[in-house]
Amino acid sequence: MHIIVVGAGVVGVTTAYELQSRGHQVTVLERHSAAGNETSKGNAAQRSYGVVYPWADPSMVLKAIPWLFKKDGPLKMSVPPSMETLRFMFATLRYAWSPGLFGLNKRAMMRLGIHSRERFLALEKELDLPFDGGHQGLLHLASTPETLENYRETQRLLDELGIPSRLLTPEKVREAEPGMIGDGPLYGALSYDTDGTGDCHLFSRELAKACETKGVQFRYNTETEHLVADDRRVTGVTIRKDDGTSETLEADAVVVSAGCWSGHLTRPLGLELPIYPVKGYSFTVPLKDPGRAPVSTIHDDNYKVVSTRLGERLRASGFVELDDFNRDIPEARLATIRKSVESRFPGCADLEAAETWTGFRPMTPDGPAIIGRGPRENLFLNTGHGTFGWTLSAGSASVISQVIDGEAPSVCLDAFRPGRFSE
């Protein structure tokens, strides 16, 4: 089959790779000039297979309001909020208060995370891609005794699902991360021993190159205008090229992996996708003293900031901001991220000289991504991964390819079904 994939972020590129490996002819459409140039470009760089969880977390609801008013709080919102923001917030509350839903969705996402790790390991064995990747684990620090106690409950679920983890004392944390000599509060940590790291932007671009050598066609600087469809099937995709002219491409099947921009393609076909652009910030900086830097990934619960080692660079990321598509980068956000790094890894880099970034995570109000068949028999969705696109990309690419080929997916997709928001 000739399959068009809309979107060349990490989810779209891994989907293209899976499909071509199954013998399909694949064309990828991307509005940017290269792969991985939107949400994939400056994310937290963690492949946190054991950490995935739904956005609609009932335990977070009561914490959210104080966070909004805390100077360094991890949650921010524009004032006054837009109607889109309010709709998203109220939908999130509804899902958070649905009895039992959080637990079901969390297990579903973690099972997809386990599968994604397996697929990443297989892919890295197949291809030698330079993207500063590794699987040296992730540490969730505990800045209070209460946080450490909560990690014990988390570990029970990890044990249930067979995900290796350990509770570490402060001494063991510093053995694992000798560069952590800062004065930030530390009562221990939960170690996710098999989680990974990697530069998602580099991975996306290198995997796109590998796809091209195998015959996948990438059409960059190409805006997907709409899907051409009848009541039963999608017959093509109308695009606008960088010279302003339009063209319609024929396809046997279409996969929408356009992140926050996916909904405008499916809405005319009767499928609303309530994907909201949750804003985040990061900076990337060369290391000045590698011995003072993280070994792998550190989640600082004190500031809710993630610091990740990428070869000879440091990536630090934080914040959940509800501000629609505003691309401004307030200095206050960067200052908070710098505080976190300095409180844990002082002197590791010249943080004032960092390259800054902001981007939009395509978040669904309940949390799970949107994976499965759409409102036409040959239309498929693989989008809406929120903060876990890098983590879940390999697994979701695998299962959507299985669905397209009429196979039973390796992971149950009930929690990810595209039509759930109108049920």
DSSP 73-134: -SEEE-SSPPHHHHHHHHHHHHHHTSTTHHHHHHHHHHHHHHHHHHHHHHHHHH----S--B
Which positions ≥6 away from 297 have C-beta within 8 Å?
44, 45, 46, 48, 137, 138, 139, 195, 197, 306, 307, 308, 309
Give pLDDT tens digits for 136-195.
Answer: 999 999 999 999 999 999 999 999 999 999 999 999 999 999 999 999 999 999 999 999
Which positions ≥6 away from 258 have C-beta within 8 Å?
6, 7, 12, 224, 265, 383
The pLDDT assigned to 60 comes to 79
The pLDDT assigned to 406 comes to 97
Which positions ≥6 away from 54 have C-beta within 8 Å?
95, 101, 102, 105, 106, 109, 366, 367, 368
Torsion angle in degrees (nearest 10) through CA of 123, 126, 130, 135: 50
**114 and 397 in contact (C-beta within 8 Å)?**
no
Half-sphere exposure at residue 387, Cβ-oriented, CA atoms within 13 angstroms: 24
Measured distance CA(323)–CA(333) in Å, rounded = 14
Report residues of the chain scoring pLDDT below 70: none
